[in-house]
Structure 1
Amino acid sequence: MNSVQWSTHTVEICGDVVTKRYLKGDVRALLDREWRALTLLAAHAPGLAPAPIAVDREAVLPTVVMSRVPGVPLRGTPVDAGRMVAMAETLDALYGAVPYDRLAGVPVRPDHRAGLIARLRIRHGQGPRPAAGTAVRAALREGMAWLDRSGHAFAPDVPGTPVFGPGDGNLANYIWDVDDSRIRVVDFEDSGRSDRAFELAEITEHVSGWIDGGLDATAFLACFDLTPEEHTHLRECRRLLALTWLFILSFEDPAHRRNPPGTAERQAGRLRELLG
């Protein structure tokens, strides 16, 4: 048996079975979103995600048991053209998997636009860590100035056609199965109703997508047939997610650093390029 501990949960792998136990946070909400996603996708898009096996909401550590997805995570190596196309095919299938009448009853995913904006305003009031450099501080000011004039506060939270969103852009959650040249998705604890532009921005702006030079955002986004309205919304969502990541990285404790030195400065440059 292999066991790995993450910030909110542990994962135990025993043969073809994975057991996920939730440790902290709103554990039942995390579990409910994960279980809802697994059961919905098993019903409407079997094979895209782990199959649900069992759930125990009343355990000391609430638990979900699911099948093991074969393959290796995309994070950590460049995503070549074949895997990029496979990822886009999987996402197209996943976004459209849940019928509208079922999706209408699914809550909006956590940290969608309204939630992110509220958190950004709180973090802006706290300011970055004292050690944050000049470039980071300048980019944060420019980002907040853009947010203040962008009109986000008055726009609908999920514009356009709703989709089912996995809610986490970490490339570690996209598993490449070399045997059948297919990408599957894991980790749905932040999943819910969303829109395609926001979910694509979640992926392209996640630090895992560029810290290792892994994902060519322009080529990846070209795999999707977006409407003019989605292109406009995508640009704004990418700016919002890039600003969010700059705040996250500017608060990173150097003593417990999860990313290489200089990552916040690189993110400042990414944000300013998107704003430009």
Structure 2
Amino acid sequence: MRTYTHQVTLGPSRVRKRFIKWQDGEADREWKCLTLLDEQAPGLAPRPLERTMENGAPVIVMERIPGTPLGNVPLTDAQNSELGASLRRLYDVPLEAILQSGLEERRLGPNSLEGYVRQALMLETSLSSCLDPGLVGEAVRRSQCFLGKASGHSHVSLPVLGIADLNPANVLWNGMTCRLVDFEDGGRTRPEFELADHVEHIAVRPRCVYDANLLCRAVGLTETEQQNFSAYRKVWAMFWLHALLPGHGAYLRNPRGTTEAQAHYVLDLLARDSEQA
């Protein structure tokens, strides 16, 4: 799980982002993404202004763009459609330009997520502090079994640029359109993988913030991509189950019972998967 990675200072026209952690290349990824978008999709994300160091820590200064961060309430149909349109602009950045930028696969991308979650759920974790250790343990065991049998999505092509973290706070709404901020985990990916990540985010799914059907329609997923989207959603749900286990930051940040609710959700997904098999 990610921990606090940066400090943000807001000015009248500029935003200063000082990284607290950068060993995973966060600052480099963000600078490359913002530079690429400034060239290929201007106005979609902040314009990069300066890159420097402060006491050994990387600092990125970027344009401050207008808009109010989305909250943890369901988006209107118009907001879902406009967010989908903004994501489509992101995914339409030419692959040649992405390759020339030097950007590699996003953090926990299509070629690494499943293996990461499989290994993470194999680690022994005490569930004694959970409200219902039996329920959570069953969800973990069923997830381990599912991931052990999964065919996987390893070595898939990565044709588009993605933001990775679409927490509603990273979407700015100005009443007409959506703009995107926080690309420190961004990089090469697939549209259906990104959308699965976005709609399963723990700040989004329980509150039904994003409408998955409207987003998929606005982005224009193909029939094959829609099938992959459903498969990726299961793995992201299991990612959040692991993130909400005792000892992890998400467990401490979320209300008691969130882990059990996620366990119920994962078990329901797996039950539906068994019925369709």
Q: SS state of the match for residue 244, structure 2?
A: helix
Superposition deviation, residue 256 in structure 1: 7.3
Could you say if the C-alpha distance between residues 83 and 59 of structure 1 is closer, same or farther in structure 2, counting changes exceeding 3 Å?
same
Could you say what the CA RMSD is over the residues aligned between the two structures, in angstroms? Answer: 2.2
Q: Of 42, 49, 53, which aligns to 1:53?
A: 49
Check conservation: 1:128, 1:137, Cα contact below 8 A. no
Q: Of 262, 267, 273, which aligns to 2:262?
A: 267
Distance of 1:246 and 1:255 partners within structure 2: 10
Q: Of 227, 233, 238, which aligns to 1:232?
A: 227
Give the structure-1-normalised TM-score: 0.88
Show the counterpart of 1:3: none
1:46-195 matches, within 5 Å, as 46-57=42-53, 60-97=56-93, 99-104=94-99, 105-131=102-128, 132=130, 133-152=133-152, 155-159=153-157, 162-178=159-175, 181-195=176-190
Distance of 2:207 and 2:79 partners within structure 1: 16
Check conservation: 1:75, 1:170, Cα contact below 8 A. no
Could you say if the C-alpha distance between residues 168 and 8 of structure 1 is closer, same or farther in structure 2, counting changes exceeding 3 Å?
same
Superposition deviation, residue 273 in structure 1: 2.9
Superposition deviation, residue 77 in structure 1: 2.1
The answer as to 2:245 corresponding to 1:247 is no
Check conservation: 1:42, 1:49, Cα contact below 8 A. yes
Superposition deviation, residue 126 in structure 1: 1.8
1:175-218, CA deviations, whole angstroms, 9 ceiling, x for partnerless residues?
1112xx11000000001100011100110110111243422333
Superposition deviation, residue 174 in structure 1: 0.9
Q: SS state of the match for residue 203, structure 2?
A: helix
Q: SS state of the match for residue 73, structure 2?
A: coil
Distance of 1:255 and 1:167 partners within structure 2: 17
Give the structure-2-normalised TM-score: 0.88
Could you say if the C-alpha distance between residues 157 and 254 of structure 1 is closer, same or farther in structure 2, counting changes exceeding 3 Å?
closer
Show the counterpart of 2:4: 7
Could you say if the C-alpha distance between residues 255 and 172 of structure 1 is closer, same or farther in structure 2, counting changes exceeding 3 Å?
closer
What one-letter code is carried by the residue in structure 2 that aligns with 1:50? Answer: P
Superposition deviation, residue 272 in structure 1: 2.5
Distance of 1:220 and 1:268 partners within structure 2: 25
What one-letter code is carried by the residue in structure 1 that aligns with 2:39? Answer: A
Superposition deviation, residue 58 in structure 1: 6.9
1:227-272, CA deviations, whole angstroms, 9 ceiling, x for partnerless residues?
2221121111111111000000113569972112211111122222
Could you say if the C-alpha distance between residues 274 and 222 of structure 1 is closer, same or farther in structure 2, counting changes exceeding 3 Å?
farther
> Quick one: percent identity of the two aligned structures?
33
Corresponding residue pairs, total: 264
Check conservation: 1:50, 1:67, Cα contact below 8 A. yes
What one-letter code is carried by the residue in structure 1 that aligns with 2:234? Answer: R
Could you say if the C-alpha distance between residues 11 and 219 of structure 1 is closer, same or farther in structure 2, counting changes exceeding 3 Å?
same
